[in-house]
Chains A and B, each alone.
Chain A
Amino acid sequence: MSNPDAKLREEAVAGNGLLNRRALLRGALFSAGMAAAGVNVAKAEDSVGADAPEWMKTPGRPFSGYGTPSKWQEKVQRIFTLAPGRAGTGVSRTPLHLLEGTITPAGLHFERHHNGVPDIDPAKHELFIHGMVKQPLAFSLESLLRYPMETHIHFVECAGNSGAFSAPQAQQITAGELNGLLSCSEWTGVRLSTLLAEAGVAKDAKWVIAEGGDAAAMSRSIPLEKCMDDAMIALFQNGEAIRPEQGFPMRLLLPGFEGNMNVKWLRRLNLTDAPVDARDETSHYTELMPGGKARQFMFLMGAKSAIVKPSLGMTMKGPGLYEISGLAWSGAGRISKVEVSADGGKTWGTAALTDPVLSKALTRFRMPWHWDGRPSTLMSRATDEKGGGQPTRARWIAQYAPGQGYHFNGIQSWSVEADGTVKNVYA
């Protein structure tokens, strides 16, 4: 057998144990063969049941109308705390660190509600398109279902996601608590431009004021340009009717734009010549800078990445081979590259991206890592196809007034301690 240390050096792509993924595929690092399986020689008069698990010896459960996750997965839940006196107002987060792949199960999609989840009767709901149009129109769900449909996979990320990184001390919370105002679904619906063309957009219209049919009548100003581009009236999420928490019977989907603008329970699109300075585009989702001025209408979510494995709450079981894995995304388009560092940013190796790599969608990255058991700082940084990247946290923070936490896309770091525990660190 060859010297394992020499083998690791040969396959290194960056410092402190980051390895070439192809080495894994070649099996170059697996020095020992599979242990020989024990051989059971059954006698003719024995039944095999003596050695079989219980669930092989009794019939299983019958069919069910709507399947639920395994009872062994009961801890995989959205993360939230109910604030007294304001049930349904606030957020719940996707437990990113407990999931794999890139599609978020609908029941685990993050939530942001401003006054609870409405229970809208689809037969009594219409989408109004009016204002600067030739003919104001109303669309029922039934009528929209007859329109040509499109299906796209896109992430939705709250503008306040990862706001905890604006705190002066690194918060010791999980990857889901840090970054879980982020989910990714397959959305199916009608292109908004088709409906706007039907109403006839007036020449001077520039903005579209979207409004939800919830008890907050949540309202945002959206550039007409986006509405004529890839905006969609989404009716389906991961193949089934969109969930109430995501806007049943219909929501606005603005791929790559901050979550709040993707108005749920959409009931009205009002075409105007100017934005309205709605509460959620002045009081919220604006970026206060040093000196007291604030940036407004920062719509596009920047290139970003987060390692979810390993992450806080997991414990490494001694030195050896591990897979570092995480999520990368950008509101500007496809992820073109994700780099990983295991030495606090001194050296970086390029991670493998799991197909398909889609525009404005979560992308899974993976990097083999031989952990030598010593304290190590893991980082990731994403680049998108438009050249967008991630600043260091310090550089990101320096742009803003104290406490400004919207649109964070700085580089994140986990420290793996000698005892195998993982900590959030500002590195």
Chain B
Amino acid sequence: MSTPKLGILVVAFVLLSIPLAGYAQNSPGLGRPVSPDEIRKVDITVTPDGRGLPPGSGSVSAGAAVYAKACQSCHGEKGAGKPQDQLTGGLGTLASPKPVKTPASYWPVATTLFDYIRRAMPITAPQSLTNDEVYAVTAYILSIDGIVPNDAVLDAKTLPRVKMPNKDGFVSWWPKAPRQ
């Protein structure tokens, strides 16, 4: 092979090797590009401002039925707990000598309930509830302590607006401790 031809080949190889996205030269770049549709199927994150909440809705009364069917055997009547975690009550106890931490008394945002129930509950059949059922059972649990009224209907618009009793109870220590 003559030298000029080799030179052209080297230049062509270098040009082809420049990574499009600018990532490290030692990365083989094997990530499979994913479409927004595919992401929608796996993305179950709900943020405190309501991004990620699906269409659908649920009422307190519908939620009471879901609760009786799917939750009560572990979390007790009206979320009183036993054998598993207590879901209701404990409001006003956080500063007391016997703090009771429940979703109602402790969790800062209501979207966490929806997000967690939808991804992980009921523990024997996670991800089996419909979006309507998750809205409904979230509404029911929040109604027990009067955080939402008994005629509440929760959906993507109303759920992020629910004011949790302990919404101002957390102090972030990242990236560093707050000034005292």
Contacts and interface: CB of A to CB of B under 8 A. Distances in A.
B126 A115 contact: yes
A279 B95 contact: no
B174 A114 contact: no
Contacts of A295: 170-171, 173
Interface string B68-112: 000000100000000110000000001101110101001111011
B155 interface: no
A137 B33 contact: yes
Given A216-B119, A268-B42, A282-B106, A138 B34 contact: yes
Given A216-B120, A277-B48, A128 B115 contact: no
Contacts of A194: 23-24, 26-27
B106 to A, nearest CB: 7
Contact of B31 (A143, A283, A291, A293): A143
Contacts of A290: 95
A272 B47 contact: yes
A159 B114 CA distance: 25
Contacts of B84: 86
Contact of B112 (A134, A209, A282, A402): A282
Interface string B138-180: 0000000000000000000000000000000111111100000
A214 B32 CA distance: 22
A83 B173 CA distance: 34
A59 interface: no
Contact of A297 (B97, B120, B174): B174
Nearest to B107: A282
B46 to A, nearest CB: 7
A297 B177 CA distance: 10
A148 B94 CA distance: 49
A297 B173 contact: yes
B34 A223 contact: no
A195 interface: yes
Interface string B8-49: 000000000000011110111111111110110011111110
13 contacts: A85-B83, A126-B32, A129-B31, A138-B32, A146-B28, A194-B23, A194-B24, A218-B120, A223-B175, A274-B47, A276-B112, A282-B108, A296-B173
Given A147-B28, A282-B107, 9 more contacts: A139-B32, A197-B24, A209-B45, A283-B112, A288-B94, A288-B99, A291-B95, A292-B94, A402-B99
Interface of B: 21-24, 26-36, 38-39, 42-48, 74, 83-84, 94-95, 97-99, 101, 103, 106-109, 111-112, 115-116, 119-120, 123, 126-127, 169-175
